[in-house]
Structure 1
Amino acid sequence: MANTFLIIDDDINIRKMLKHLIIKNNLGKVLEELDSGEHATEEIIFYNPDIVLIDFLLPIKDGIEIITSTRSLGYKGKFIMISQVEDEHMIAKAYENGIVFFIDKPINMIEALNVIKGVCHNIDLEKSVNLIKNAVFNIEKSQNVTSSPSIYDQIINILTDIGILGESGSKDLVNVIEKVISFKKNNFSSSYQLQDIYRQIAYEENCTKNTHINARTIEQRIRRTILKALENIAALGNDDDYNSKFIEYSTRLFDLKQVKQEIKHINNPREDRGKINIKKFIEGIISKLNF
């Protein structure tokens, strides 16, 4: 079944651009378009779309208010935020309220397409897993079916692709991704907290290796590894912005604006480095997996 969309932006040209992008690439059906936040909560609840493309700054009620109110009313769909806001506090607030994917303004069509495709793929996987997790997986296990690479092998291939398999935090990263997938299989309508997963990994490592690490250590190792991935992808784009890996991963795993900042840093070390968001990175990898 095709995914459904609701677009909320006060700029009619952006609404038309996003609708055209969705229809042209057969990503789904646009149920409604809104030009302000006034009745957005009610409309989202009424239409119950799979994906809401929502502007950060809207007349009457802003994007964060809308997300908070719709979540409180039980809406479980995905939000993709459209933003030209650069204030780090406001962006952090958006992440805290459940935004994982951003599309920066002015809109880059390749970035927007990759982000929307990634979210659609993630939704399709979640729906499939929810329907077949108690049937197909048991059947495949009993029949020892090996029709496609395991999730672990797919993750390893991606980490190899972006040049971080040998990093010290790569094992932690694989562990986190596998635990997030396991959580999604068993909690279709719930959201996970990375800190809970970090604590679980730290506990397991302390028990098996007789160490005394904490969740913060796990997070730091993963953050350093993802920063290395950002550096590698930025280096590819710096050499050739048509590089296939750069096009694939610069928007799937990172905010394109931060990749561009990392490229500036590569060319001039006095420039600030690009920033990463661990949850976006993990969701980006999961959106590329087949399971």
Structure 2
Amino acid sequence: MRIYIIEDDITVISILEDIVEQNELGTICGDTADAPPDLEGILAADPDLILVDLLMPGKDGIQVVRELKEGGSRAKFIMISQVSAKELIARAYSAGVDFFIQKPINLIEVRQVIQNVSRQIENEQALRAIQSVFAGRAPAPPPEPPLSRERRRIKHILSQLGMAGEKGSQDIIELCIALLQRGQTASQVGVAALCAQLSDNPKTMEQRARRALDRGLNHIASLGVEDYTNEFFTRYSARLFPFQEVRAEMAHLQGKGPGGKANLRTFLDGLLILAEEE
């Protein structure tokens, strides 16, 4: 993974480069040092991940992210900030920021967030591969019997997420199996449309699945609050949920915010990939 650092503090740049290199998180393909961001140079470097400071002289990090996105950058963005104002954070997410790292720099947080970004990139690449394979194909009729191996694997994952006891967990399994049988993803079909194909009461089915997913988000966030290196937290927090929403739910559990919101379509697509692994 190619990483570019946009930061006006040389000391912070040095710390971040050391963390990346010593933990084998990727390759540093450039940094701004003490110069203003060279947007054309950054776009030419074509990084997979950009670490960008929020508060810089001249252009702030939000403006830089927006201009890089408009310039065609496909990189993921991690914003580095001492600021916790909700308005600024909301603006940053709207501009295209994927994750936040708080100053002062913390080794464990930087390593974990970059690893989560790396897994998210791999997840998206795998999803694009699945979509390209089935692009242009007519949906195949559901085979019988259902995919028993994938069904068992999905059920096992839901159990690890603390969702097995929820009524909606069975709905989630059936949604995934239907997608696997047809060679489609939730992003292609849409959750509401898929529920309408599988149930006489699609709204109830979708609501049950969403309630179960809320339970899963709460469970994974609680694992992260207790231990940021927890096996299930590191495995699932970025592959099945938007990580910023996991962070918001973690903050909520610590009494610091309204909580995160899970995305059922993202969750289902992530489960499809996990179900076919190994």
Q: Same fold (TM over 0.5)?
A: yes
Seen in structure 2, the aligned counterparts of structure 1 residues 58 and 168 have a Cα distance that, compared at 3 Å, is farther
Gaps of 5+ in 1: 136-148, 185-191, 265-270
Verify: 1:32 aligned to 2:30, yes or no: yes
Partner SS for 1:278: coil
- Alignment match of 2:196 (pick from 193, 206, 228): 206
Aligned twin of 2:98? 100
Q: Is the 8 A contact 1:37 1:58 kept in 2?
A: no
Seen in structure 2, the aligned counterparts of structure 1 residues 114 and 223 have a Cα distance that, compared at 3 Å, is farther
Aligned twin of 2:157? 158
Partner SS for 2:27: strand
Seen in structure 2, the aligned counterparts of structure 1 residues 282 and 209 have a Cα distance that, compared at 3 Å, is closer
State the TM-score, normalized to the length of structure 2.
0.67
Aligned twin of 2:117? 119
In the TM superposition, what are the counterparts of 1:159-174 in structure 2 within 5 Å? 159-170=158-169
- Alignment match of 2:71 (pick from 70, 73, 85): 73
Distance 2:26 2:110 in 1: 15
Partner SS for 2:203: coil
Aligned twin of 1:232? 219
- Alignment match of 2:45 (pick from 41, 44, 47): 47
State the TM-score, normalized to the length of structure 1.
0.65
Gaps of 5+ in 2: 135-147
Q: Is the 8 A contact 1:230 1:262 kept in 2?
A: no
Distance 2:151 2:41 in 1: 40
Q: Is the 8 A contact 2:214 2:262 kept in 1?
A: no
Distance 2:150 2:56 in 1: 40
Which stretch has the larger CA shift, 154-163 or 228-237? 228-237
Aligned twin of 1:16? 14
Output the amino acid matched with 1:244. Answer: N
Seen in structure 2, the aligned counterparts of structure 1 residues 163 and 261 have a Cα distance that, compared at 3 Å, is same
Distance 2:59 2:46 in 1: 19
Deviations 1:211-242 (A, max 9, x none): 3739xx95x7666545433543455466x547
Q: CA deviation at 1:150?
A: 6.8
Seen in structure 2, the aligned counterparts of structure 1 residues 247 and 109 have a Cα distance that, compared at 3 Å, is farther
Verify: 1:278 aligned to 2:262, yes or no: yes
Aligned twin of 1:248? 234
Which stretch has the larger CA shift, 163-172 or 244-253? 244-253
Q: Is the 8 A contact 1:57 1:83 kept in 2?
A: yes
Q: Is the 8 A contact 1:172 1:222 kept in 2?
A: yes
Distance 2:162 2:21 in 1: 35
Q: CA deviation at 1:12?
A: 2.5
Count residues with an aligned counterpart: 253
Q: Is the 8 A contact 1:51 1:80 kept in 2?
A: yes
Q: Is the 8 A contact 1:233 1:245 kept in 2?
A: no
Root mean square deviation of aligned Cα: 4.4
Q: Is the 8 A contact 1:163 1:229 kept in 2?
A: yes
Seen in structure 2, the aligned counterparts of structure 1 residues 232 and 121 have a Cα distance that, compared at 3 Å, is closer
Seen in structure 2, the aligned counterparts of structure 1 residues 106 and 165 have a Cα distance that, compared at 3 Å, is farther
Deviations 1:83-103 (A, max 9, x none): 333222332232233333222
Which stretch has the larger CA shift, 116-125 or 221-230? 221-230
